[in-house]
């Protein structure tokens, strides 16, 4: 079997064309991209990546450059489950989350890319295959956009083929959130899928109050109403707020998702393949949700996640938000009439512009 011969990290800073804001992260002027290229003894290469909203990318790069090459020296590349556990426990004492699990996510993604390429299969088929057409929504970071610009952004997304929209909430005055959501509902019309995202802004009681105020607008879900460290609080919001709740982009392990799912704290589990440990735990989280009859959604990394949801019978919506990465990918995600299309190229199919990325190396 082919063995791992090299692990090559990359660390880049992608400037954003406009400053983005949400209720908790504040102003975001650039995203950090961490990549990893794994080569095996047959000369094949798999690519993985993760990202941050502007901080800690250097720590991720150090783990990919110093820790994983030593841990994985000479290992068989196809034994992904074993290698995931080896890395998890080798890094566990100083890890369990943060930069460590983001680095592991990128590494695991690269292993799956390599394995699918070796089988000459698109990743979604290598993972079992279900349906290459995945319902998709446009996720905007638009909390501070004036209402007229918010509606113009929405029209632009509709023109790109999106048939579901997510907007930010969590302004200082709840009345302003309600008025903006009301305007968006009137703009989109009855029945159009509309989600809102609070980015952890509220206390539990504040989130319940906000959910009740937003109930008249037929929302598909309210996302991240409070901090991720409070599954019991999320369960209260689910019970008392009257809206479906999406959460999980800030959860880092399968076991954290277990607390949410089994505790009735989430309606739409929302793993991010770049920070939950990679493809391996993402699929376990999706199957955990399936066992509880819950639909799974996603956060970030849509060019990879489209494959994962295309392998899930309980998938709901894919979030499409490239964070400017599409400028450095040969064939970005395709959207047609509300669906993202999982490509049929071998592996995850992402072909990075490495020369272009080199110009923005961090």
φ, ψ of residue 5 in degrees (nearest 5): -110, -25
Q: Helices in 12-135 by DSSP H: which ranges?
A: 57-62, 68-71, 80-91, 98-118, 123-126
Q: Could you tell me if 305 and 292 are in contact, meaning their C-beta atoms sit under 8 angstroms apart?
A: no
Give the pLDDT confidence of 70-103 residue by residue, as tens digits. 999 999 999 999 999 999 999 999 998 999 999 9
DSSP-based helix, strand, coil % in the chain, nearest 5: 40, 25, 35
Of 115, 125, 168, 201, which one is the catalytic site residue? Answer: 168
Helix (H) or strand (E) holding 45: strand 45-52
Residue 27: per-residue pLDDT:
77
Q: Does the annotation mark 284 as catalytic? A: no
φ, ψ of residue 342 in degrees (nearest 5): -70, 125
**Among 164, 168, 167, 166, which residue's Cα sits nearest to residue 135?**
164
CA atoms 271, 273, 276, 280: torsion sign: positive
- Alpha-carbon distance 178 to 207, whole Å? 13
Helix (DSSP H) and strand (DSSP E) numbers for the chain: 13, 12
Residue 294: per-residue pLDDT:
98
213, HSE (Cβ side, Cα atoms, 13 Å): 19
pLDDT in tens, the chain (362 residues): 899 999 999 999 998 877 767 767 767 788 999 999 999 999 999 999 999 999 999 999 999 999 999 999 999 999 999 999 999 999 999 998 999 999 999 999 999 999 999 999 999 999 999 999 999 999 988 999 999 999 999 999 999 999 999 999 999 999 999 999 999 999 999 999 999 999 999 999 999 999 999 999 999 999 999 999 999 999 999 999 999 999 999 999 999 999 999 999 999 999 999 999 999 999 999 999 999 999 999 999 999 999 999 999 999 999 998 678 999 999 999 999 999 999 999 999 999 999 999 999 99
The helix/strand/coil state of 84 is helix
- Alpha-carbon distance 66 to 62, whole Å? 6
The helix/strand/coil state of 4 is strand
- CA distances to 175, 260, 285, 287 from 238, in Å: 21, 11, 20, 21
Q: What is the CA radius of gyration of the chain?
A: 20
Between CA 65 and CA 104, with CA 109 as vertex, the angle to 5 degrees is 45
Between CA 158 and CA 165, with CA 161 as vertex, the angle to 5 degrees is 50
Q: Does the annotation mark 299 as catalytic? A: yes
Residue 41: per-residue pLDDT:
96
Global pTM value = 0.97
- CA distances to 99, 117, 143 from 198, in Å: 24, 38, 9
- Alpha-carbon distance 252 to 211, whole Å? 25
Residue 322: per-residue pLDDT:
65
Look at the block and give the residue holding tokens 């790109």: 160
| 35 backbone φψ class: left, alpha, beta (φ>0; ψ -120 to 50) | beta
Of 125, 234, 299, 307, which one is the catalytic site residue? Answer: 299
φ, ψ of residue 353 in degrees (nearest 5): -85, 85
The helix/strand/coil state of 81 is helix
For 239-290, the DSSP string reads HHH-S-EEE-TT--SHHHHHHHHHTT--SEE---TTTSSSHHHHHHHHHHHH
């Amino acid at each position: 079997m082919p063995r791992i011969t090299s692990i090559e990290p990359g660390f880049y800073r992608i400037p954003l064309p406009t400053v983005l804001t949400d209720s908790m992260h504040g102003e975001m002027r650039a995203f950090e991209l961490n990549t990893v290229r794994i080569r095996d003894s047959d000369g094949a290469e798999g690519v993985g990546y993760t990202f941050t909203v502007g901080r800690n990318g250097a720590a991720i790069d150090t783990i990919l450059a110093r820790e994983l090459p030593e841990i994985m020296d000479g290992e068989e590349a196809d034994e992904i489950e074993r290698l995931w556990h080896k890395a998890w426990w080798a890094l566990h004492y100083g890890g369990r989350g943060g930069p460590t699990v983001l680095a592991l996510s990128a590494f695991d993604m690269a292993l799956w890319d390599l394995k699918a390429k070796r089988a000459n299969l698109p990743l979604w088929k290598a993972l079992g295959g279900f349906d290459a057409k995945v319902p998709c929504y446009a996720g905007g970071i638009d909390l501070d956009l004036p209402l007229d610009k918010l509606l113009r952004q929405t029209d632009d997304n509709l023109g790109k083929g999106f048939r579901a929209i997510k907007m930010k909430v969590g302004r200082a005055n709840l009345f302003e959130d309600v008025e903006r959501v009301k305007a968006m509902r009137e703009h989109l019309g009855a029945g159009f899928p509309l989600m809102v995202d609070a980015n952890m802004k509220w206390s539990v009681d504040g989130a319940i109050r906000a959910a009740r105020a937003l109930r008249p607008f037929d929302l598909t879900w309210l996302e991240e109403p409070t901090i991720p460290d409070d599954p019991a609080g999320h369960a209260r919001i689910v019970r008392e707020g009257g809206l479906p709740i999406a959460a999980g982009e800030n959860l880092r392990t399968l076991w954290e998702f277990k607390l949410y799912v089994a505790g009735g704290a989430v309606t739409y589990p929302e793993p991010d393949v770049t920070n939950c440990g990679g493809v391996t735990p993402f699929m376990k989280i999706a199957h955990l949700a399936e066992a509880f009859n819950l639909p799974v959604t996603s956060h970030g990394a849509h060019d990879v996640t489209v494959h994962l949801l295309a392998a899930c019978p309980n998938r709901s919506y894919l979030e499409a938000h490239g964070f400017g990465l599409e400028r450095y990918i040969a064939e970005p995600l395709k959207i047609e009439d509300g669906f993202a299309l999982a490509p049929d190229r071998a592996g995850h199919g992402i072909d990075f512009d490495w020369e272009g990325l080199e110009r923005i190396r961090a």
